[in-house]
Amino acid sequence: MQKPGVIFINPSLAQDGGKCDEVLFPFAAIMLLATILDKSGYDVTIIDGNMYTSAECIEKVRAAVNENTVFAGFSVMTSQVKWAYEVAGALKKSHPALKIVWGGVHATLYPEQTVADPLIDIIAVNEACSSIAMLAEALRNGGDLSNVPGIYFKKDGKTIKNAPYLPDDITKIPQIDFSLFDALRYARNNLLPKAYDLPLKDAVMMPIITGLGCAYKCSFCINVILNRKYRYMEAKEIVDRIEFLQKEYGANFFQLLDEDFFINKKRTMDFIELVEKRGLKFYFRPWMRVSYFRDNYISEEVAKRLEKIGMVTAVMGAECGSQAMLDKIHKQIKVEDTVNAARTLSKTRIVPRYSMMVGLPGETKDDILATYRLALKLKDIDRRSDIPILSFAAYPGSPIYSEAVRKYDLKEPGSLAEWAVLDFSGFLGFYSAQGKPWIFDRKIFERMNNYYNIGFQFSPRKTLRNKVLYPLLRSLIRFRFITGWFGFPVEEFILGCR
C-alpha cells in the first residue's frame, strides 16, 4: 500500500520567471515541515522553484501529483506571490480536486484575503510545526478541519477561522532531514563560503536551526507583527548537530539560522567552550547585534576566540547612521555601538557585514547622509567591511508600513489576485525610490546610492582608464557625502553608468 503524499513547493526568488539556482537551501520552514511529515509516515516531495523556470516548475509539480497526494503546500513571501499564484493556478487547473495550502509570511499577514481566493483552499498562519501533521491527517481522512489550530479554510461558502496557533516549542522540533532531497546540490553550489578567503578545497555549507523568533521589536520587521517570542536551542545540541553533519555530509561551513545567535550570553560562552573542548574544525556565519561588542560580552578577547573556532563573519543590522531614525524604528542601538563593533572586529579576521537602509518615511536628507557617512567611517576603520545600503522596503503588515499607507493615502491591493499583478518596483518603492512619496528628492536619492556603490561597494570595471581615474573618483565621491553636494554628475559620465 502506497503512503499518502504531500508536495511542498518553494517559490522562486526570481522576479522574471527564470531560474535562480545559485541560492541557499529552500526555506527552512519547508524543509522542517517536510521532515515532520516524513516522520509521520508521509511520502514527501520538495520542489524548489529556484531550480526551474516557472513553466518548468509547473510541469514538475503537475507530474508529482498522484492519487495519493493529500495536498500541495506553498510557503510564500509577499514578493513571491506572483510566482506562487501562477504555479498554484496551473496546478488547480490540472488537478481541481487537489487541496492547495498556503503558509508563510504573506498568508500570515493577510489570512482572510488569501484564503478568499478561489485558488487557495487553506492557509496556515505563523509557524506550523505542531499542527502540520494534524492538518495532513484531517485532509487525508476527510476529518474535521475545525480541530486544527492556526488555519483558515472555506466551508459552505464561508471562511472559517480556527483557534490561534501557539508558538512552536523548539525543544520538540526535529532537526532537518537532509536525506529528503539532494542536499549536497545546495551545499556545494552555494555563494556563502565563496565570499570569504577560506583554506577549503571543497566547501560544503549546511544550515542549522538554532533559534526561532526575536526578542526585539524593530518597527520594520516581521517579528514585531507576529509577536514571536525568542526560543533557542541549547549549545550542546547545536554542537552535536555540527558534528553529525560533519560526519554524515562532510560539512565544513555552517549557516546558523537564528535571528540573533548571540542573544543569550550563557549559550554563547557554552558554545565557544564546547567547540574548543571537542577540538572541532569548521567555519560558521551567524547573525548578531552591533551592541554585543562591549567589554562585558564580546570583548576583543572573546572576538578572537570566536575567530579561532571558525567564525568568518559577523552579520549585523546597523540600519541607519542617524540616531533619530534608529530611535524611530525602535532598533535599540546607538550609532556608537556600530562604530565600536567595527573597532573590535578590525583586530580579528572576522569580516563585518553591516546591513543599512535609506528612504524610510520621515527621513531627511541629513539623516540619509548620516547613514552614508557612517558607512564610510566603518570602511575607514576596516576596509574589509561589507556594507550594502539598500532602498528601504516597507514590508506589508509592519508598523512602519501601516503608518506610510495611512499617512500618504496609498492604495493597498484588496485581493490575492491584485497582489499577484503588483509591480513591486513602484509599490512603496520596494526596490527603488519610485513609490516613496516621502523622499526629499528622488533623483538625488538615487544618485547617492549610485555614487556609494561606484566608489565603495562594487569593484569598478578593470580598465586602464578606471585604474588611473578611480582614486580621484573615490575622493570626489567622498567629498560629495561630506558636503552633501550632488550636482554635476561627472562620475556617471566617466564610468558610463547614467
Q: What cell was used for 43?
A: 511520502
Q: Could you list the residue range(s) of the whole structural domain that residue 63 is in? A: 5-161
pLDDT score of 52 more than 60: yes
pLDDT tens by residue, 353-391: 999 999 999 899 999 999 999 999 999 999 999 999 988
- How many angstroms separate the CA atoms of 362 and 442, rounded? 14
> Average pLDDT for residues 5-20, to the nearest whole number?
88
Say if residues 53 and 18 touch (Cβ distance below 8 Å): yes
CA-based nearest residue to 8, from 93, 90, 101: 101
Distance CA 105, CA 101 (A): 13
With beta carbons less than 8 A apart as the criterion, state whether 210 and 261 touch. yes
Residue 300 resides in a domain: yes
Q: What is the pLDDT of residues 105-136, one digit of tens each?
A: 899 889 999 999 999 999 998 888 989 999 99
- Sheet-wide strand order for 283-285: 205-209, 253-257, 283-285
Q: Which of 132, 161, 190 is the C-terminal boundary of a domain?
A: 161
Mean pLDDT of 439-445: 90
Q: Say if residues 36 and 6 touch (Cβ distance below 8 Å).
A: no
230 and 101 together in one domain: no
Distance CA 212, CA 408 (A): 34
What angle do helix axes 442-452 and 464-483 make, rounded to 10 degrees? 130
CATH code for position 258: 3.80.30.20
Residues 156 and 214 in one domain: no
What sign results for the dihedral spanned by CA atoms 437, 443, 448, 453? positive
Distance CA 363, CA 405 (A): 16
Q: Does 493 map to a domain? A: no
Residue with grid cell 535599540, as numbered in its chain: 332
Q: What pLDDT sits at residue 285?
A: 96
Largest CA-CA distance found in the chain, in angstroms, rounded:
74
Which of 128, 161, 194 marks a domain boundary? 161
Query: Based on the structure, what is the number of domains in the chain?
Result: 2
166 falls within a domain: no
- 293 and 197, same structural domain? yes
In sequence order, what are the residues at sequence separation of 6 or more whose Cβ sits closer than 8 angstroms to the Cβ of residue 402? none
Taking a C-beta distance cutoff of 8 angstroms, is the pair 350, 313 a contact? yes
191 and 49 within one domain: no
Confidence of residue 166 (pLDDT cuts 50, 70, 90): confident
Q: Are residues 330 and 229 in the same domain?
A: yes
CATH of the domain at 25: 3.40.50.280
Q: Does residue 447 sit within a domain? A: no
Q: Is residue 488 part of a domain?
A: no
Tens of pLDDT along 295-317?
A: 999 999 999 999 999 999 999 99
Q: Which residues neighbour 220 within 8 Å (Cβ) at sequence distance 6 or greater? A: 329, 360, 392, 394, 395, 398, 399, 400, 401
| Nearest to 262, CA basis, from 198, 204, 305 | 305
Compare 7 and 450 and report the one with higher pLDDT. Answer: 7
155: exposed, middle or buried (Cβ count in 10 Å: 0-12, 13-18, 19+): exposed
Kindly tell me if the per-residue pLDDT of 465 is higher than 70: no
- State which of 440, 464, 481 marks the end of a domain: 440
Q: Assess if residue 451 is contained within a domain.
A: no
